[in-house]
Structure 1
Amino acid sequence: MHERHHGAVTVSAPLLGDVGVGLRKLVLTTHITTSVGWLGAAVVFLAPAVLGIASPDAALVRAVYRLMEPASWYTLVPLAAASLLTGLVQSLGSAWGLLRHY
């Protein structure tokens, strides 16, 4: 990682090099979209989960859990992975890096 000195402050250069403003905004927008989508999908996922837990009807419980499995694999998992991936790309493209928080 390259370091630039600005007075008394040392700023590290991004690991991925200098990325353009347009690319940085695209990654940020994608990260926010996937993160909010993941959060929304998790909230929506709670409704059938509560219904499955609270219902005394065995057929309804079975149907709810049969619905929840593909919903989790096709919505929650991809959105979580996309959110993680875009967050990693965003951190590697910034001067702060992945593990630096100060």
Structure 2
Amino acid sequence: MANLDTSQAISSEAAISYAAVGGSGDRVKYEPGMFVVIRNGSGSSTTATITVPGNTPYGVANPVKTKTIAAGADVPIPLLPAYVDSTDGRVAIACTPTTTVSIAVMRS
């Protein structure tokens, strides 16, 4: 699991820098206005899963957030304050499968 600390500001003049997703997931340092872009370079879809920490008011684990990324697609996923683990200020995100899937951390 990799910690992704550096986000890129949106700019029409700069290319987006992608990194390979971690085999066991990644943890993104949260800041307001952040989102990730998942790039799926494979021939089949992949699923990005954000593990939301904590419990609901009913005492059960918060539901995970999932997003399916089609083959060859780039999909932005906004990171919400509710996704942040209060122990380290990070959002946990994992993709399955990971082959030829990459991630960019962006901020508006």
Do Structure 1 and Structure 2 share a fold, with TM-score over 0.5? no
TM bucket (normalised to shorter chain) is: under 0.3
Determine which structure has more spread, i.e. the larger CA radius of gyration: 1
Which structure's residues are more often helix, by fraction? Answer: 1
Structure 2-normalised TM-score? Answer: 0.27
Which structure's residues are more often strand, by fraction? Answer: 2
Structure 1-normalised TM-score? Answer: 0.28
